[in-house]
Amino acid sequence: MAAEIVNTIGETDDNFIDPAFALHRGGKMEVSATVPVNNRDDLSLAYTPGVARVCTAIAEKPTLVNDYTWKSNVVAVVTDGTAVLGLGDIGPEASLPVMEGKAILFKQFGGVDAVPIALACTDADEIVETVVRMAPSFGGINLEDISAPRCFEIEAKLQERLDIPVFHDDQHGTAVVTLAALRNAAVLTGRTLGQLRAVISGAGAAGVAIAKILVEAGIGDVAVADRKGIVHDGRDDLTPVKRDLASFTNKAGLTGSLEKALDGADVLIGVSGGTIAEEAVATMAKDSFVFAMANPEPEVHPEVARKYAAVVATGRSDFPNQINNVLAFPGIFAGAFQVRASRITEGMKLAAAEALAAVVADELSADCVIPSPFDERVAPAVTAAVAAAARAEGVARL
């Protein structure tokens, strides 16, 4: 098997090399110095004896670590490899290319340094203890590709024990970008969030976080469906997370299947994979929105969704309106770091979504309700909004 893999990724008889493997060879990142070490004087300042004076100062006043090390601008990108992209539980080693990718996106789009860390354990308490022990080296923790429901527990416990931002991007990054796109879709069609009824396909990390932020933002109603149908408080098979979800969603009291809930709905948000039948989409309200975000295959193909929906979004870069987390997480951490926030609050997430939506507020069309990841206005706008929100909410320390 190993030989077959090598032959697949290496040169073939026609000298073709898979460009993805060519790009990844040797990894996608490195550590580089920000100061010169070219002579004896440089060495004596960067290392001993000069470094001892800095260490002593930090020992006497620990907050100086933020001024005299990279801590105040570095994130640990932490995974256990159990829910990687659309690949599932592939383990820590196989997750590293994704974590490296996340790290370079932090730097490229937010000016934030990041270190990929793949842990060889899946027990929630062990992960928490490991990250707590590493935390003195980092200004923030970005949890990545950790399966639900453990991801909720890990994030909550870490934020309880640490005084630096802890952010599970699969939850909150997705939620922020989804809300921003939905705000603009509503404006485009002359409505407000409060006039919309949404249905979310998927009650995992992203689905739960999207439901929470939509409720916080004032959505008219939102129902969430898992594999067994709509999550409601009359079901006796709900996990603690889903019981909580049922307590603040589905004001209409819907029961039964996802397809039943879509009848007359204004919004479909797909974060589950699988396929949603065209016949169900056809029953949605006039000028509906379909955000089918599963990768690589959306729950509803855009060509099908456009027959019925006024705005269509996916998670893919080859269709308009890509719901891409890179629009959120670099600026959110950059804003939090700018004011040395102790956590990332719901208010900071809402501010990020509002700022992201505002970037293209004057350019709205059915194919433009969310900026491109390469729009240079995005990161500064999100950074400024998050920093301001952190100050307003009392979690800023600068």
CB 50 within 8 A of CB 44: yes
Task: Decide which of 119, 148, 164 is a domain's last residue.
Answer: 164
Whether 140 and 38 map to the same domain: the answer is no
Region 131-146 average pLDDT = 98
Q: What are the tens digits of pLDDT across the range 53-86?
A: 999 999 999 999 999 999 999 999 999 999 998 7
Whether 79 and 149 map to the same domain: the answer is yes
Residue 273 neighbours by CB distance under 10 Å: 16
Whether 93 and 182 map to the same domain: the answer is no
Q: What are the tens digits of pLDDT across the range 82-102?
A: 999 878 999 999 999 999 999
Q: Which CATH number goes with the domain that contains 101? A: 3.40.50.10380
Whether 313 and 281 map to the same domain: the answer is yes
Whether 129 and 39 map to the same domain: the answer is no
- The string over 73-96, giving b where at least 16 C-beta atoms fall within 10 Å of a residue's C-beta and e elsewhere, is bbbbbbbbbbbbeeeeeeebeebb
Whether 209 and 238 map to the same domain: the answer is yes
Q: Checking DSSP bridges between strand 267-270 and strand 221-226, what pairing results, if any?
A: unpaired
Q: Sign (positive/negative) of CA torsion 358, 361, 365, 368? A: negative
Phi, psi of 33 (to 5 degrees): -80, 150
Choosing from 68, 71, 102, 212, the catalytic residue is: 102
Tell me, what's the pLDDT at 8?
56
Task: Decide which of 164, 198, 225 is a domain's last residue.
Answer: 164
Whether 173 and 91 map to the same domain: the answer is no
Whether 77 and 127 map to the same domain: the answer is yes
Which residue range(s) make up the domain with 321? 169-398
**Active site annotation includes 157:** no
Number of domains in the chain: 3
- Label residue 301 by pLDDT band (50, 70, 90): very high
Q: What are the tens digits of pLDDT across the range 117-135?
A: 999 999 999 999 999 999 9
Q: What are the tens digits of pLDDT across the range 250-294?
A: 999 999 999 999 999 999 999 998 899 999 999 999 999 999 999
pTM over 0.85: yes
d(CA 336, CA 164): 9
Whether 40 and 83 map to the same domain: the answer is no
Strand partners, 291: 269, 313
**Assigned domain for 26 exists:** no
Whether 163 has a pLDDT exceeding 60, the answer reads yes
**Assigned domain for 12 exists:** no
Strand partners, 141: 76, 166
Whether 43 has a pLDDT exceeding 60, the answer reads yes
Q: State which H helix or E strand residue 134 sits in.
A: helix 124-134
**Assigned domain for 9 exists:** no
Q: Sign (positive/negative) of CA torsion 107, 110, 114, 120? A: negative
Q: What are the tens digits of pLDDT across the range 308-326?
A: 999 999 999 999 999 999 9
**Assigned domain for 321 exists:** yes
- Label residue 3 by pLDDT band (50, 70, 90): very low
Q: Which CATH number goes with the domain that contains 184? A: 3.40.50.720
Q: State which H helix or E strand residue 223 sits in.
A: strand 221-226
d(CA 187, CA 26): 46
Task: Decide which of 106, 134, 164 is a domain's last residue.
Answer: 164
Choosing from 47, 228, 251, 307, the catalytic residue is: 47
Whether 174 and 148 map to the same domain: the answer is no
Q: What are the tens digits of pLDDT across the range 166-187?
A: 999 999 999 999 999 999 999 9
**Active site annotation includes 47:** yes
